[in-house]
Structure 1
Amino acid sequence: MELDFEHCYRAVDSRDPRFDGCFYTAVRTTGIYCRPSCPAITPKRQNVTFYVSAAAAQRGGFRACRRCRPDAAPGSPEWDTRADTVGRAMRLIGDGIVDREGVPGLAARLGYTERHLNRILTAELGAGPLALARAQRAQTARILVETTDLGLAEIAFAAGFGSIRQFNDTMLEVYARSPSQLRERRPVTRGEPGAVNLRLAYRPPLHAESLLEFFGARTLPGVDEVDGHTYRRGLNLPNGTATVTLQPGDRWVHATLRLNDVRDLAPAVARCRRLFDLDADPVAVDGLLAGDPALAAAVEAEPGVRVPRAADGFEMAVRAVVGQQVSVAGARTTLVRMLRAAAGASSGEPTPIPQTVTTAPATTSTAPPDLTGFPPADVIAALPDTAFGMPAARRATVRALAEAVADGKLDLDPGADRAETTARLTDLPGIGAWTAGYVAMRAIGDPDVLLSTDLAARRGAANLGLPGSAKALAAHGERWRPWRSYALIRLWRAA
């Protein structure tokens, strides 16, 4: 992908944080690469080279700036939203696929040969899949070195390196410091002892209240909870489970991760970023939506509204099916019934199924409840009919969905092909355009979904003076492309 030199240099000269993660600035006289907002003196034009990715800068022989930490910049909004091969590959690499399955596994998921995939990524990003994964391993290792007391050898293998020597050489090349030197210089971290404490960067503004309100209305016991300005949830990760606590702050979301296996750090961070849509470009989104007079006041009043995303694609799909034609509270009651039955099935003991569910907000306690994440697809598929508490047709839909995911016939990961996944969803009995669109928006990250038939969206549109009929709303929404998912969230808030 070509970068416009003048455009990039002006962003660097103004230290514009909106471009952090979109490109990287390498200075040939110092051998260092930075994010655009680095507070250092602006380098001379003749000494600067711009790179699309941190991996490309590292491949060019540059090391990461220790002042602005470019490797910890927000992810590019382009790779987060693009539905093509490069966008899918970047999301899968971020989730740790190369570390777990190697380049052959990544290529197989994308439907290309290794050689052709390497050619595509190198042409767009200046680095192939191995180099991109290596850059991520280096960042994962640095986080573990600076925020935990794990032994350096344990960190090396937890971060995905094949040997201690490879670990030492990479850290020295990327950071100009050995792992032991990084540990000596590590910053003072604050947070829960025995956990990985880190800060997740985002492009401001971030309307955290809308995210917490959305998640708070849909929390499930044992899965997630909202307490004041903090969101906690359990995660099912490739090597085990984890509990994550996310607390939005100024320019950072403070994250505390308790991992059963430290090898899951990179996928856990990727899923946390997805949950809060932290790689979005709110200035670009709000700039387009504010051009519609009907949305201008809402954008001005609440800048930086994000799309509440999902950490577990299967969980989101089940929530969408259960939520068809029922209220949020009704869907929550049904889901809790299912979760209790699944917990009993996993333990081998019957679990009482409540008839009602309290929706009182969580309270702070010295011993927070255990959050284990949503049950896997094979567990849900094996539940008896009495566990579902819903009409037979909808129960059959949940079963068909769970079986398709468990058998590998349906991919709901962020790297899935959006068009193919939508088609396979609608092929299942009982899943129509609304459900498939909802899953595409929240689980797969499609930024351009407008559920014009949704009752709440139409009510919100009417409140804003927009057309209230599904057909007219869909026609009006064409001006919101490619950010119709963000417009939909604003319609829901207006309702």
Structure 2
Amino acid sequence: MDDRAAVELLPEIDGGSLNADEARRRALYAAFAAGDARFDGQVFVGVSSTGVYCRSVCSARMPKFENCTFYRTPAEAEEAGFRPCMICRPEVAPCHAPVDAQASLARRAADLLRVECAAGDGLPRLAARLGYTDRHLRRAFEREFHVTPAQYVRTCRLLLAKSLLTDSRLPVAQVARAAGFGSVRRFNQVFREQYRMTPTDLRKRRRAPASEGEGITVRLGYRAPYRFDLLLRFFAMRQLEGVELVDGSSYARTARIPLPDGGEARGWVRVSDDPQRHSLVVTMSDTLIECVPQVCARIRRQFDLDSDPQAIYEGIRSLDEVVPGAAVAGTRVPGCFDSFETACRAVLGQQVTVVAANRFAGRIAATYGAPIDNGVEGLSLAFPSPAEVLALDDVEEAFGVLGVIRSRSRTIVELARLIEAGEVTLGAGAVVEDEMRRLLAVRGIGPWSANYLAMRTLCHPDAFMETDAGVAHALPDLSPRERAALAERWRPWRSYVNVCLWNSLSGD
């Protein structure tokens, strides 16, 4: 069975054991032999002759079929006794790609566990956030991933530590802290038990760090092709002075991340592309050491690292019949780093140009944002948080002097209240359909804004904005109703159609 047959088995893989039958195993083996990037991060291969597990794109010598076992997650492979390959580095593999709005409970829990793996949140608290009992969550998680949530978190921590040991110059004690281990002794013990070497042993065998400068560096993998240039152009058009910096090769911004003790970590993040190794190089200030998983998760979502470009391109390639050249393989949907910042900008951008929205958002950041002393020229502000907006005496008056009309100010205040109260969630673990209903109940949030926020803050792949000015410009001969009807053929990838239409206006 060839690798095309293996790809056709992906829906089956997504719902059950990878080793259920011989035909499936041979299909996966064929994809592994071909180095098929479409499986990267979705299937991991345990090799009994070496004791390691690999990504589908591993360049090591091909093992025999009878020595291969297939797993859906690194945690499952590690529970079976395999350790990560030093060549293909499973810790930088992209994660499962979102496909529908109603993600499974286990998938949403996995997203949160990956983000919070260093925070030490217990399962009961996580279950409460998702609206279930911890017993029900545990059963759903084990049924989907074949490991317990605790085992999954342990693997997340170990893989994060392995990445930091390989790509950064952090001392082992700081690596242990950043990865969420309570002590260096416990870190050494777990690392030795799982990987049959100490952290120091691994560091001796590592490659040279990705960055020789200051800060903490990690790599985040993606499935090729990847149009990093188009993402940079999108962010460059919308960059906020003092908050973001975009040049021809990198994106940088300030960051403020809440800490479990109620405090806040502040610093900077820079992102650049390494196309030869199919990964982004993410460097962050040392001040963010306590929230490395959260920063990485935000960058994954902002740069759409977990999507499947081959499946998406196959789903939208007929767009070229309508707008020649618009469907570009490797196009990503731009997400966001700070969901409230993006929500405010969406509100400010209603019925005005991108330039005008930038101007209003920039004034808010300059007047009411939190100053950040990064020592990085051009990065000195963080956009105000929901709590800071709510603390203003009269938001309508405060924003009014900056040129923001009262109706927009009232919508921003209501969004801040809902987010601060936990009644609206714009991030990992959310159910898109539920959050869109809540957004549409907010006065001043219509279908365009709700779909835009679903696309950018909730990583929803199937949002479409038929009334958007750019979409209208790209499809000038159609009414909004006709555009919406036309877009039905591109489900569940309509967010990517939006982006391709926007990009087509610039000639790419």
The two structures share one fold, judged by TM-score above 0.5: yes
Matched residue type, 2:267: A
Which residue number corresponds to residue 11 of structure 2? none
Distance 1:6 1:296 in 2: 40
The answer to whether structure 1 residue 6 and structure 2 residue 26 are counterparts is yes
Which residue number corresponds to residue 269 of structure 2? 244
Provide the secondary structure at the position in 1 that maps to 2:45: strand
The answer to whether structure 1 residue 435 and structure 2 residue 422 are counterparts is no
Cα displacement (A) at 1:184: 2.0
Provide the secondary structure at the position in 1 that maps to 2:362: helix
The answer to whether structure 1 residue 378 and structure 2 residue 387 are counterparts is yes
Distance 2:194 2:85 in 1: 9
Aligned with 1:166 (options 186, 197, 212): 186
> Structure 2 vs 1, CA of residues 296 and 253 (structure 1 numbering), >3 Å: closer, same or farther?
farther
Which residue number corresponds to residue 202 of structure 1? 222
Q: Percent identical across equivalent pairs?
A: 36
Q: 2:167, 2:219 within 8 Å by CA — same for their partners in 1?
A: no
> Structure 2 vs 1, CA of residues 293 and 211 (structure 1 numbering), >3 Å: closer, same or farther?
closer
Q: 2:347, 2:449 within 8 Å by CA — same for their partners in 1?
A: yes
Q: 1:203, 1:279 within 8 Å by CA — same for their partners in 2?
A: yes
Cα displacement (A) at 1:147: 3.8
Aligned with 2:304 (options 274, 277, 285): 277
Which residue number corresponds to residue 484 of structure 1? 494
Q: 2:326, 2:501 within 8 Å by CA — same for their partners in 1?
A: no
Which residue number corresponds to residue 405 of structure 2? 391
Q: Deviations over 1:344-397 (max 9, x none)?
A: xx57xxxxxxxxxxxxxxxxxx95223443221111223342334222111111
Which aligned pairs between 1:92-491 and structure 2 lie closer than 5 A?
Answer: 92-96=112-116, 99-239=119-259, 240-250=265-275, 251-294=278-321, 297-298=324-325, 302-343=328-369, 368-383=377-392, 384=394, 385-388=397-400, 389-462=403-476, 468-491=478-501
Distance 1:376 1:78 in 2: 27
Q: 2:168, 2:209 within 8 Å by CA — same for their partners in 1?
A: no
Provide the secondary structure at the position in 1 that maps to 2:466: coil
Distance 2:101 2:440 in 1: 22
Provide the secondary structure at the position in 2 that maps to 1:38: coil
Q: 1:397, 1:428 within 8 Å by CA — same for their partners in 2?
A: yes
Cα displacement (A) at 1:81: 7.2
Provide the secondary structure at the position in 2 that maps to 1:290: helix
> Structure 2 vs 1, CA of residues 190 and 29 (structure 1 numbering), >3 Å: closer, same or farther?
closer
Counting matched residue pairs gives: 470
Distance 2:178 2:464 in 1: 41
Cα displacement (A) at 1:470: 1.0
Provide the secondary structure at the position in 1 that maps to 2:331: coil
Distance 2:256 2:489 in 1: 38
Cα displacement (A) at 1:427: 1.4
Q: 1:341, 1:387 within 8 Å by CA — same for their partners in 2?
A: no
> Structure 2 vs 1, CA of residues 98 and 368 (structure 1 numbering), >3 Å: closer, same or farther?
closer
Cα displacement (A) at 1:479: 0.8
Q: Which stretch shifts more, 35-44 or 429-438?
A: 35-44
> Structure 2 vs 1, CA of residues 371 and 133 (structure 1 numbering), >3 Å: closer, same or farther?
farther
Distance 2:184 2:285 in 1: 25
Cα displacement (A) at 1:263: 2.0
Cα displacement (A) at 1:247: 1.3
> Structure 2 vs 1, CA of residues 201 and 80 (structure 1 numbering), >3 Å: closer, same or farther?
farther
Matched residue type, 2:314: G
> Structure 2 vs 1, CA of residues 199 and 297 (structure 1 numbering), >3 Å: closer, same or farther?
farther
Matched residue type, 2:33: D
Which residue number corresponds to residue 45 of structure 2? 25
Provide the secondary structure at the position in 2 that maps to 1:25: strand
Q: Which stretch shifts more, 78-87 or 422-431?
A: 78-87
> Structure 2 vs 1, CA of residues 130 and 55 (structure 1 numbering), >3 Å: closer, same or farther?
same
Q: 1:195, 1:259 within 8 Å by CA — same for their partners in 2?
A: yes
Q: 1:226, 1:232 within 8 Å by CA — same for their partners in 2?
A: yes
Q: 1:318, 1:398 within 8 Å by CA — same for their partners in 2?
A: yes
Matched residue type, 2:295: A
TM-score after normalising by structure 1: 0.90
Matched residue type, 2:462: D
Cα displacement (A) at 1:402: 1.1
Which residue number corresponds to residue 361 of structure 1? none
Which residue number corresponds to residue 3 of structure 2? none
Cα displacement (A) at 1:125: 1.4
Which residue number corresponds to residue 359 of structure 1? none
Distance 2:100 2:382 in 1: 24
Provide the secondary structure at the position in 2 that maps to 1:318: helix
Q: 1:241, 1:372 within 8 Å by CA — same for their partners in 2?
A: no
The answer to whether structure 1 residue 49 and structure 2 residue 69 are counterparts is yes
Distance 1:296 1:46 in 2: 48
4+ residue runs over 6 A deviation: 79-82
Distance 1:114 1:124 in 2: 15
User: Tell me, which stretches of 5 or more residues in structure 2 are unaligned?
Assistant: 1-14, 19-23, 260-264
> Structure 2 vs 1, CA of residues 101 and 295 (structure 1 numbering), >3 Å: closer, same or farther?
farther
Q: 1:235, 1:373 within 8 Å by CA — same for their partners in 2?
A: yes
Distance 2:168 2:306 in 1: 26
Q: 2:210, 2:281 within 8 Å by CA — same for their partners in 1?
A: no
Q: 2:487, 2:494 within 8 Å by CA — same for their partners in 1?
A: yes
Distance 1:298 1:127 in 2: 44
User: Tell me, which stretches of 5 or more residues in structure 1 are unaligned?
Assistant: 348-365
